[in-house]
Amino acid sequence: MEVASHSILVAGTLFLISILATAITPRLGVPLLLVFLIVGLLAGEDGPGGIKFADYSAANLAGTAALALILFDGGLRTPLSNFRVGLRPALMLATVGVLITTAIIGAVAAWLFHLPIAEGLLVGAIVGSTDAAAVFSLLSTRSVRLNNRISSALEIESGTNDPMAVMLTIGLVHYVLAPETYGVMEVAELLVTQIALGIGLGYAGGYLLIRTINEVELGDSLYPLLTMFGGLLIYGVTASLGGSGFLAVYLAGLMFGNQPVRAFASIKRFQDGIAWLAQIGMFLVLGLLATPSRMVDEAIPALITAAVLIFIARPVAVAVSLLPFHFPWREQVYLGWVGLRGSVPMVLATFPLLAGLENATLFFDVAFFIVLVSLIVQGWTVAPAARLLGLQMPPVTTRVRRADIDLPGTRGYEMVSYRLARTSALVGKKPKQLPIEDHSRIVSLTRAGKLVPYRDWGTLKGGDYLSLIVSKTELPELDQLFQSTSGQQAVEQQRYFGEFVISPEARVADLVNAYGVEVPESTTEWTLSAFITSVLHKPVVGDRLRLGDMELVVRKMDGIKIVELGLRLPHG
């Protein structure tokens, strides 16, 4: 009883500290995952907490389950439209990129730690993939706003590169154990099985989970639980059959988040909390598992390995993988810089320990050191790097404040509530003047804590709450509407997107005649939209095309169609 009470006390204290840290550390620019890891280290064997924890099997189980939940939540929040922009480059990064990273780090690790090349490659495979928890945390922060091409590539890569890293790690572990009987054909068979079963069972599991939730009558509080355990079941079945459970659970989440599902708003809120719990728990456990004093002898070669990964291996992998896709060089540099490592390498680093390899402890320590350096160096600089490269898009408001409530008896419809920022461009307008679709309805207005009668609505004020009944498909447009700004933020957006708005259907000849820019004569009868697409291939919001001393900037998109352009004229 005393042991149980003490364990609950310790767990409650560590989680409480970690949760409270989320309210403080973002203001200081500190990566949250680094904070969770440090809390675990401080509580561990070498820290003031002095907790001795060396159960690698339990850590592997906790890390795997947590990562499955994080990937399901990440898929659930990824719009399917992102795949049009980011799927092909992300898949190249998730396959070719992981192979290149593994090869470079494998060679360096074998040389620095005096390992056989197979064991060096095992180190490379362990740290070869980017981390879903770290990337999803990066993309959800308010300090970084990137264009859709970068964010989609990062997001999809982190959700799909685990099969390659897992396959390489498992294959190399088997090879080190029995080099005479395990070869290239066995590794290839493992890869095909992992990917084929991961894709097939992920889609099948997602479909069955959606059907189950939409057809089975349960208490409202049980739908989020059914979803969570359904995701874990999809992972377990796929992994048990030899497939990639991580890929399956990500695809199931992707299907789930892009289909009409009953109780979706409450499920999404619940999954968000569970994903945070998984991230905190995973990094706390990894912090407890690590023993920094044991790493002193390997610190210098591990630091060199981390530097090679950050400054050479990842940039080379990105450059080679993105060669066919015409990414601007600034975006390639940024994608190369933010290849964060986190929980995935630490989970993979437990595989050699569980297999009983001779140098397994060395592999774990090196992986931990690389993760720590990655979170400090890369995690701390994601926002400054975006600003330095001119990729940080201007903020829209401090934040879109939207609360979702399920609408009983419907699928795909929700009641949402928005809080108007004082800088919103909607302030001063009447509710009936808002450009809202006919089948959406404003149902209430709350001001100063009181529900305002319809006849007294008048004009909107900063701090008002507007509640609407809407289709889930309209939420991106509504978010954009309620993000519209005035004042200084509007000036910043105008500076970024251009002083003038110009129709994408205008002819190139009109721009030539008005401003005398030089373009190929064969393109003068084209529309600006066609001209930009021919140069940029797959334009996204924020893309710029320089014409002489001016720039055309993509302001708005409808799927893959440009609907608004900005024109930036030279100053002075």
Tokens of 154: 């990062």
Residue 495 binned pLDDT confidence (cut-offs 50, 70, 90): low
Residue 118 binned pLDDT confidence (cut-offs 50, 70, 90): very high
Q: Percent of the chain at pLDDT above 70? A: 90
How far apart are the C-alpha atoms of 515 and 215, rounded to whole Å? 61
Q: Give the DSSP letter string of 208-227.
A: HHHHHHHHS---TTHHHHHH
Q: What's the confidence (pLDDT) of residue 561?
A: 82
Mean pLDDT of all residues in 180-199: 83
Specify the higher pLDDT residue, 201 or 513.
201
Mean pLDDT estimate for the chain:
83
Residue 404: beta bridge partners? 416
**CB contact at 8 A, 243 and 194:** yes
340 φ/ψ sector (left φ>0, alpha ψ -120 to 50, else beta) = beta
**CB contact at 8 A, 136 and 320:** no
What is the signed CA dihedral for 295, 300, 302, 305, rounded to 10 degrees? 180
Residue 550: beta bridge partners? 547
How far apart are the C-alpha atoms of 313 and 394, rounded to whole Å? 31
Cα dist from 428 to 459, 481, 485, whole Å: 5, 14, 12
pLDDT tens sequence across 25-79: 666 666 777 888 888 888 888 888 888 888 888 888 888 898 899 889 888 888 8
How far apart are the C-alpha atoms of 144 and 385, rounded to whole Å? 10
> Measured at the alpha carbon of residue 489, what is the angle toward residues 485 and 493, in degrees to the nearest 5?
90
Q: Exposed/middle/buried for 91, CB within 10 Å: 0-12, 13-18, 19+?
A: middle
Q: What's the confidence (pLDDT) of residue 28?
A: 62
300: nearest Cα among 372, 376, 368, 366: 366
How far apart are the C-alpha atoms of 120 and 363, rounded to whole Å? 9
Cβ–Cβ contacts within 10 Å for residue 369, how many? 21
**CB contact at 8 A, 70 and 85:** no
Q: What's the confidence (pLDDT) of residue 399?
A: 42
Tokens of 225: 């639980």
Cβ–Cβ contacts within 10 Å for residue 30, how many? 17
Tokens of 471: 């289709």
pLDDT tens sequence across 377-405: 988 888 888 888 888 776 554 344 555 56
Among 98-102, 115-119, 198-202, 381-385, whose mean pLDDT is lowest? 381-385
How far apart are the C-alpha atoms of 548 and 410, rounded to whole Å? 53
pLDDT tens sequence across 311-334: 999 999 999 999 988 888 889 999
User: Which is it for strands 500-502 and 441-447: parallel, antiparallel or unpaired?
Assistant: unpaired
Mean pLDDT of all residues in 535-554: 80
Q: Exposed/middle/buried for 24, CB within 10 Å: 0-12, 13-18, 19+?
A: exposed
